[in-house]
Amino acid sequence: MMSFHYENKSILTTKKESKKQCIDDIEQEYSIKRCNFNPISPSPNKFIKNLKIRMKMYYRESYKSYK
């Protein structure tokens, strides 16, 4: 009976350590990515820029085909 108690305690300790390690890994990854984000600077709107380019190309082609 005592050995089961000790085994169970060691399993719990291992789970706690692995959970702590996982949390530490997540915090470390977040700290690395946090440096890349600057909320003050405006974000580049790449989708709209590319859409404008595609629309210009489309209208140029349609204008050419109309002539």
Give the type of residue at 57.
M
For the chain, domain boundaries: 2-66
Q: What is the pTM of this model?
A: 0.35
Q: What is the pLDDT of residue 12?
A: 58
For 11-57, the pLDDT digits (tens) are 656 777 788 888 888 888 877 766 666 667 777 788 999 999 999 99
Residue 52 to residue 31: CA distance in whole angstroms = 36
